[in-house]
Amino acid sequence: MSRDAKARMDKGKIVSFIPTGEYYFKKGIKAYHRRDFLKAKKYLGRALQLEPGEPMIACQLAIVSTELGEFEHSNRLLHLILEDLDHEMVECHYFLANNYAHMGFFKDAYHHTVTYLQMDPDGDFTEDAEELLELLAFEEDVVEDELYQQDDLIIKQEQARDLLETGYFPKAIELLKEVVEEYPEYWSAYNNLALAYFYLGKTEKAEAILDEVLERNPGNLHALCNKMVFAYYQGQTEFVNQMLESLMKIQPLLSEQKFKLGTSFALVGEYEQAFLWLKKLYKTGFDGDSPFYYWLSYSAHYTGHENFAKAIWKKLIELNPEKEGNEPWLADQDQVNGFEDLSGSIFQKLESDYVEERLFALFLTSVSSKKEEIITSKRLFQNHKFTTLEKEYISLIRSGKTSATADAQEIAELFYETYQPIGTVEAGLYLMLFSVFVEVSKAGIRLKNKRAWAGAVEYVWHKLRSEKVSQQDVAKRYAISPATIGKYVKLVNEFLN
């Protein structure tokens, strides 16, 4: 090595190179001009990560997403710019109009085209926007029909959401199937359809729908979150951990994405991550609905922010008074309508080796103030002891889907009018009913005359406990004849033996 070279090395300094958002933005623009859209998306995405508040980067990424046919992703970015980053960047309205036109959402396309022309009548895209407007209004009748269809989509979407929230899953499925048939790239409907199938216990069908979404729309955050939640409820711990590792790296831009990520973390018990995202939304003034406040309160409670959790719960009760009694700090209390559960909780009964006890536990669930938490719990989905009877009973409780279990439920409800709260003594009556129901089901017989079966089971229960009761007394209580009671008592004894 020469002396001069050594001198230069001694004097030189090693300068670390830290790429900036501008660096990746320029690389993205070069790739875009070469029409290498995948590389452009990669570089611009990295630029936006480094400078998330820069509208020019977000806009260019939206344009690249359009070129790749990722219209929904492009729209999310364009709305982000107009709503949060730079509302004066009016060309975004023209880009939105183009995207919505490609997607077939002509009402939205028309709205954004007119908005652009009003806000920038001499803009760079004025001529193109006017041509688009002519195209959209080419046949007035057709356009009006399309606008009507868009209104119809909004109505159906709201109806489906209401049906899901109230547990009418079969009706929600019927409606959502119509939506995805009419709008094959409306991914939100697919995700809700998967949820409906999952809640009905059709897990394979639900998984297949999510796989289809991710194949046709890679990286769909809602589908990824749903896959993690489904796996959690099915006890697939290793897969859940893999999904958590991936999802924890995501930095969503839109409020709805942050909400989905936060609630999904809460559902799988990752309350630290849930609180991180939901609290961020809360700080930005996010105007959430009751599920938002519900999970924010739960995640706050389980991360030690007790006062904040209680303040948020008050907001929830104002929106949804029915949630009173479901406070997270009461979640560990195991009191279900006064039932003296000496052998354990409802969940322990659900995991019993005896089918009649599992059916009894499902009835207790149906009358419990904790029904929602139990029926959507991980432990329920992981229970491998359930027979067809329990699965049908769960569908009945969740969605009202009728089956032979509805007969047993109605008879149990007749008992519940008199025998509640349910103590260990009264539990015997219900267990006898479900024992008879199991045997009757094996014989392929329906419990059609509910009052007669109820009266007969109750009479036999009293007699086995050596209590003085006459068939006439029981018949009077259930408004049937003593002869009918006598006939059904024989049937009850037959099946019990």
- Across 12-16, 340-344, 416-420, 468-472, the highest mean pLDDT is recorded for 468-472
Please name which of 479, 485, 481, 442 lies closest in space to residue 463, comparing C-alpha atoms: 485
For residue 11, pLDDT over 50 is answered with no
Check pLDDT > 90 for residue 154. no
412: confidence class by pLDDT, cuts 50, 70, 90 = very high
Residue 381 falls within a domain, yes or no? yes
Q: Which of 222, 240, 271 is the last residue of a domain?
A: 222
**73: its two tokens:** 């992703």
User: Greater confidence, 475 or 3?
Assistant: 475
Could you give the CA distance from residue 114 to residue 121 in angstroms, rounded to a whole number? Answer: 10
What was the pLDDT predicted at 339?
42
* Residue at token pair 């050594």: 6
| Domain-located, residue 486 | yes
Question: Considering only CA atoms, which of 249, 279, 243, 246 is closest in space to residue 262?
Answer: 279
Give 371: exposed, middle or buried? Use CB within 10 Å, 0-12, 13-18, 19+: middle
Between the two ends of the chain, the Cα-to-Cα distance in Å is 102
Convert the pLDDT of each residue in 447-467 to its tens digit: 999 999 999 999 988 887 777
The reply to whether 227 falls in a domain is no
Query: Is 186:417 a contact under the CB 8 Å cutoff?
Result: no
57 domain residue, yes or no: yes
112 and 28 assigned to the same domain: yes
> 290, 316 in Cβ contact below 8 A?
yes
Task: Quote the CA–CA distance of 497 and 494 in Å, as a whole number.
Answer: 5
User: Averaged over 197-211, what is the pLDDT?
Assistant: 84
- Whether 188 and 199 map to the same domain: the answer is yes
Mean pLDDT for the stretch of residues 404-429:
85
Indicate whether 212 and 113 sit together in one domain: no
Domain end, chosen from 296, 331, 366, is at: 331
| Cα 390 off chain centre by | 23
Question: Does a structural domain hold residue 261?
Answer: yes
Query: Does one domain contain both 119 and 149?
Result: no
Enclosing domain of residue 197: 139-222
On whether both 292 and 326 belong to a single domain, the answer is yes
Q: Residue 332: pLDDT above 80?
A: no
Q: What is the pLDDT of residue 489?
A: 92
Token digits of residue 131: 């041509």
pLDDT of residue 343: 31
What is the model's pLDDT at position 143? 43
Identify whether residues 255 and 315 lie together within a single domain: yes
Position 214 in a domain? yes
Cβ contact 485:459 at 8 Å: yes
79-93 pLDDT per residue, tens: 889 888 888 899 999
Report the alpha-carbon distance of residue 34 to residue 64 in Å, rounded. 12
Over residues 120-136, mean pLDDT: 83
Task: Summarize pLDDT for 476-496 with one digit per residue, the tens.
Answer: 989 999 899 999 999 998 888
* Whole-angstrom distance, CA of residue 471 vs CA of residue 484: 9
CATH number at residue 287: 1.25.40
Q: How far apart are CA 397 and CA 393, in angstroms?
A: 6
**394 class by beta-carbon count within 10 Å (0-12 exposed, 13-18 middle, 19+ buried):** buried
Q: What is the pLDDT of residue 458?
A: 93
Query: Helix 140-165 and helix 106-119: axis angle, to 10°?
Result: 110
Residue 232, domain member (yes or no) = no
Structural domains in the chain (count): 4
> Could you give the CA distance from residue 344 to residue 373 in angstroms, rounded to a whole number?
17
Same domain for 360 and 483, yes or no, is yes
How much is the average pLDDT of 348-368?
A: 86
Same domain, 152 and 115: no
Let me know whether 408 and 281 are in one domain. no
Please report, for the domain that includes residue 79, its CATH number: 1.25.40.10
272, pLDDT greater than 90: yes
Which H, E and C letters describe the chain, residue by residue?
Answer: CCHHHHHHHHHCCCCCCCCCHHHHHHHHHHHHHCCCHHHHHHHHHHHHHHCCCCHHHHHHHHHHHHHCCCHHHHHHHHHHHHHHHCCCCCHHHHHHHHHHHHHCCHHHHHHHHHHHHHHCCCCCCHHHHHHHHHHHCCCHHHHHHHHHHHHHHHHHHHHHHHHHHCCCHHHHHHHHHHHHHHCCCCHHHHHHHHHHHHHCCCHHHHHHHHHHHHHHCCCCHHHHHHHHHHHHHCCCHHHHHHHHHHHCCCCCCCHHHHHHHHHHHHHCCCHHHHHHHHHHHHHCCCCCCHHHHHHHHHHHHCCCCHHHHHHHHHHHHHHCHHHCCCCHHHCCCCCCCCCCCCCCCHHHHHCCCCHHHHHHHHHHHHCCCCHHHHHCCHHHHCCCCCCHHHHHHHHHHHHCCCCCHHHHHHHHHHHHHHCCCCCHHHHHHHHHHHHHHHHHHHCCCCCCCHHHHHHHHHHHHHHHCCCCCCHHHHHHHCCCCHHHHHHHHHHHHHHHC
The Cα-based distances of 80 to 77, 192, 256, 274 in angstroms read 5, 24, 11, 22
Over residues 46-73, the pLDDT tens digits come to 888 888 888 899 999 999 988 888 888 8
Is 375 found in the same domain as 451? yes
Are 54 and 48 a contacting pair, CB within 8 Å? yes
- How far apart CA 234 and CA 316 sit, in angstroms, is 29
- pLDDT digit string, tens, across residues 216-227: 988 899 999 999
| Model-wide pTM > 0.75 | no
Residue 281 placed within a domain: yes
pLDDT of res. 334: 41
Contact criterion met (CB below 8 Å) for 228 and 197: no
Are 385 and 473 found together in one domain? yes
Task: Clarify whether residues 133 and 144 are in a common domain.
Answer: no
